[in-house]
Amino acid sequence: MPRLQGLDLHQAYILTERVKEKITGEMDQPEANLRRVACHAVLFDSLIDTLIDLDQEDKKQREKKRAQRAQQRAQKKSHKSHHHHHQQQQQEQQQEPLQQGSSKSQERQPRATSVEVEMH
């Protein structure tokens, strides 16, 4: 059956329910118009096919968005982790000269002996 064009999932669902009610209403009549029932049945069949197609498209779109959000979260997490690692390296590099400098200054200046301390 050809898919009905220009309907979104919600519209197709509402229209399908109305056509179903028309079929049921006509069949409840003591002298049902079979031509009318048949026409509505063909429309109902097309609407069901349309609903299936639209539902599959909707699921694909939702899955695509979900995958994009997951990828964005992974990229943010990776970026934060890389940024944090880079900051740690910078801090370590900044601390190394301070530690080396303090040990060098200790090496350069002899420690005061107890005799020198008493003299001052």
Q: What percent of the chain has pLDDT over 70?
A: 71
Looking at residue 21, its pLDDT comes to: 97
Q: Is residue 103 part of a domain?
A: no
Return the HEC string of the chain: CCCCCCCCHHHHHHHHHHHHHHHHHHHCCCCCCHHHHHHHHHHHHHHHHHHHHHHHHHHHHHHHHHHHHHHHHHHHHHHHHHHHHHHHHHHHHHHHHHHHHHHHHHHHCCCCCHHHHHHC
- Section 101-116 average pLDDT: 53
Q: What is the pLDDT of residues 16-74, one digit of tens each?
A: 999 999 999 999 999 999 999 999 999 999 999 999 999 999 999 999 999 999 988 88
pLDDT, averaged across the chain = 81
More confident residue, 28 or 103: 28
Write out the residue range of the structural domain in which residue 62 sits: 9-78
pTM for the whole structure: 0.56
- Is residue 45 in a domain? yes
The answer to whether position 96 is within a domain reads: no
At residue 94, the pLDDT reads 73
Query: Using an 8 Å Cβ cutoff, are 8 and 54 in contact?
Result: yes
**Position 51 in a domain:** yes
Per the structure, the count of domains in the chain is 1
Q: Could you tell me if residue 6 is left (phi over 0), alpha (psi between -120 and 50 degrees) or otherwise beta?
A: left
- Does residue 40 sit within a domain? yes
Q: For a pLDDT cut of 90, what percent of the chain falls above it?
A: 51
Q: Is 115 a member of any domain?
A: no
